[in-house]
A and B are shown apart, each in its own frame.
Chain A
Amino acid sequence: MTFGVVIFPGSNCDQDAIYTIASVLRCNVKTIWHQQSVLPELDAIILPGGFSYGDYLRPGAIASRSPIMKAIKSFAGQGGLVMGICNGFQVLIESQLLPGALLRNESTRFISRQVSLTIENNQTPFSHQFQPNQSITLPIAHKDGNYFAHPELIRQLEENHQIVLRYQNNPNGSTGNIAGICNPRGNVFGLMPHPERAFANWLGSSDGLIFFQSMLASMEAKS
């Protein structure tokens, strides 16, 4: 199985994602430059964390308009798995592959620490190896992770089981303690915490690896 990791100018968690996929999960990984307009043969795509284009205009806004995003949209349209982590989540939101908005943290501060989360939906290709309502620990590191959605959208997200991950103690002001959501089809997933920084206990948690293992198992089941 082959993962693609997209690199935008200012991405800075791409190597962490590549390490997790290649050295821990032991899968193939290809890097994809944002100016490419054609994707290589892939089974899944990771949009990594960082500060693409220095967060200019709005976090993720400029990256979401780069040439590679058209190809990623059609990949997602065909049911391909796409996971956006932190800035990658912001890019997915700005591309309208996921709904809502990510605002400045309520405290206006950059927050970098371990947080406790609950798996709200363990039926997605990204989360099916978790137990129902499993409590997990992942690091967060962001300034603009305050998920915003109007009550009507929250109702839709809940009805379609699109809320995958919630904070146990809301760190940033997110509506409904939301930390990660997927699209209605379940093949596009974005989250503010960093699963690629939590693949072994010596990192403080190995819970992040389960997202990658879930993806791998879904891809293998499909092929």
Chain B
Amino acid sequence: MIEVMIEILPKKDILDPQGKAVLLALKNLGFQNTSEVRMGKLIHLSLQTASEEQALEECKKMCEELLVNPLIEFYRMEIIRP
């Protein structure tokens, strides 16, 4: 079993109101050094592929076809090793 983590974040030029609201709450708590918060999604997948390359290739297709909206989001993938 190969495990892959896909991290999806809103692009820099996209307004992230959720991140902005959390930033405000952090500042209210006294975390004045934080200048930006951006919030996205984390997806963990388990795949039964022959190789890690094949798993990543399949995940890339999943991102293109469903998981990511390239107009407003970007993503990166990583193999999770125990």
Contact = CB atoms under 8 A, between A and B. Distances in A.
Interface residues of A, number: 16
Contacts of B71: 100-101, 148
B66 interface: yes
Contacts of A158: none
Interface of chain A, helix or strand or loop or mixed?
loop
B17 A148 contact: no
Contacts of A107: 17
B22 to A, nearest CB: 10
A148 B41 CA distance: 20
B64 to A, nearest CB: 12
Contacts of A106: 15, 17
Interface in A59-116: 61, 65, 94, 100-101, 103-108
Given A108-B17, A108-B21, A148-B14, A103 B72 contact: yes
A186 interface: no
Nearest to A107: B17
A104 B72 contact: no
Contacts of A100: 71
Nearest to B43: A57
Nearest to A150: B71
Contact of B69 (A65, A101, A108, A146): A101
A173 interface: yes
A58 interface: yes
A108 B19 CA distance: 10
Which 3 A-B residue pairings sit nearest by Cβ, starting from the closest?
Answer: A108-B17, A101-B72, A101-B71
Interface of B: 14-15, 17-18, 20-21, 41, 65-67, 69, 71-72
22 contacts: A57-B41, A57-B66, A57-B67, A58-B69, A61-B69, A65-B65, A65-B66, A94-B69, A101-B71, A101-B72, A103-B72, A104-B18, A105-B17, A106-B15, A106-B17, A108-B17, A108-B18, A108-B20, A108-B21, A146-B15, A148-B14, A148-B72
